[in-house]
Amino acid sequence: MSPERAPKTGAGRAAVRPRALLDRMPPVASHRLAPDSAEAAQRVRQAMAMLEACSVCPRMCGTARLAGEIGLCRAGEELKIASWNLHRGEEPPISGHSGSGTVFLSGCSLRCLYCQNYPISQYGAGDGCSVERLVEIMLELAGMGAHNINFVTPTHYAPQIMDAILRARRQGMAIPIVWNTSGYERVEMLKLLDGIVDIYLADMRYGDDNQARKYSKIPDYVDVNRAAIAEMHRQVGVLALDTDGIAQRGLLVRHLVLPGGVAGSAKVFKFLANSITPETAVSVMSQYFPAHKAVDDSLLKRRLTEDEYRTVLAEFEAAGLENGYCQDY
Ligand code: SF4
């Protein structure tokens, strides 16, 4: 049985709904790192040291970010934030009824030619923000009733964000942290986030490196992404919801279906079913539209067809995956 359909909303991410198997799991126990522990302080020091000759993301470009240099991801030492708000367009267990406390980071280590947020991710739109101010923003979002704090494209600022999360937790912020990532992450960096991040909302963009190279300018996406997903699952397990259907902990994989089979969906699904677990929650997204440089690409200059999306949903089912969300076409 394929994932259930739900109607699209207007702008932004379309509405999705869970399959019955994913409904209403009991609350999960806390496995968080004590924010005032010696280990927490040591992890922040270790992560900040990775900024000296930057090795925060798998590009390992060696940029001297603490000396004022800007990396391939457009990030320097200071955090840069494009926007923050209560967002109701994520998957239901993330947005819930009150919204997700979303913080959009500026810059990205990928260069997807179809990026829908390219002014932020590739042209650096946003404003500088201290770690102290980020703590205030998190506390403000929590005070506004956010179900979680949702860092969008956080990878290149992982050290500073980790510091901010621990400071906010020391001030009593208890809601889950969502790491909303392209999935191009170093396992070494993820291990420092163990016990700090509660929910990994992670892309699996490609099943084939040739496509990742062509469309996101990344030579090794598939192996790096698969290792990262395995580490995320090791840390937080399958997606767990509270009695109100709000995610508390776990892994939710996002897969944006691209026209012309570019995303290699069947390979992605087989990996998840065979190498992680068939219970992995997957959001299979149909919302692709040509943006940025995709308007000039022979394969990506059009939207997905209904047949293409139906084929991918059949591949989801054929892979043996059990839990997921899809979008109406
Ligand atoms: S996070 Fe940015 S500066 Fe650091 S290695 Fe990656 S691309 Fe380079």
Domain with 291, as residue range(s), is 20-326
pLDDT at 140: 98
In a domain, 44, yes or no: yes
CB 248 within 8 A of CB 241: yes
Predicted confidence at residue 30, as pLDDT, reads 66
Burial state string for 278-314 with b = 16 or more CB within 10 A and e = fewer than 16: ebbbbbbbbebebebbbeebebbeeebeeebbeebbe
Please name the residue whose Cα sits nearest to atom 5 of ligand 1: 60
* CATH number, position 79: 3.20.20.70
Distances (CA, A) of 314 to 1, 26, 89, 318: 8, 30, 25, 6
In a domain, 10, yes or no: no
Which structure tokens are listed for 112?
């997807």
Q: How far apart are CA 314 and CA 297, in angstroms?
A: 27
Q: Is residue 9 part of a domain?
A: no
Q: What is the DSSP string of 73-135?
A: TS--SSEEEEEEEEE--S-HHHHTTT-EEEEEES--S---TT-TTHHHHTT--SEEE-HHHHH
Residues lining ligand 1, judged by CB closer than 6 Å?
Answer: 54-57, 59-61, 63, 65, 71-73, 75, 109, 156
Give yes or no for residue 22 having a pLDDT over 60. Answer: no
Note whether residue 277 is domain-resident.
yes
Do the domain assignments include residue 258?
Answer: yes
| 5 within a domain of the structure (yes/no) | no
From 48, 51, 54, 105, give the residue whose CB has the most ligand 1 atoms within 8 Å, as the site to mutate.
54
208: pLDDT strictly greater than 70: yes
Is residue 327 very low, low, confident or very high in pLDDT (cuts 50, 70, 90)?
Answer: confident
- Give Cα separations from 101 to 146, 180, 285 (angstroms): 5, 12, 21
Which of 150 and 29 is assigned the larger pLDDT? 150
Range of weakest confidence among 8-22, 27-41, 133-147, 160-174: 8-22
- Ligand 1 atom at shortest distance from the alpha carbon of 74: 2
Average pLDDT over residues 255-263: 96
Question: Distance, CA 84 to ligand 1 centroid (Å)?
Answer: 23
Residue showing tokens 């279906």: 257
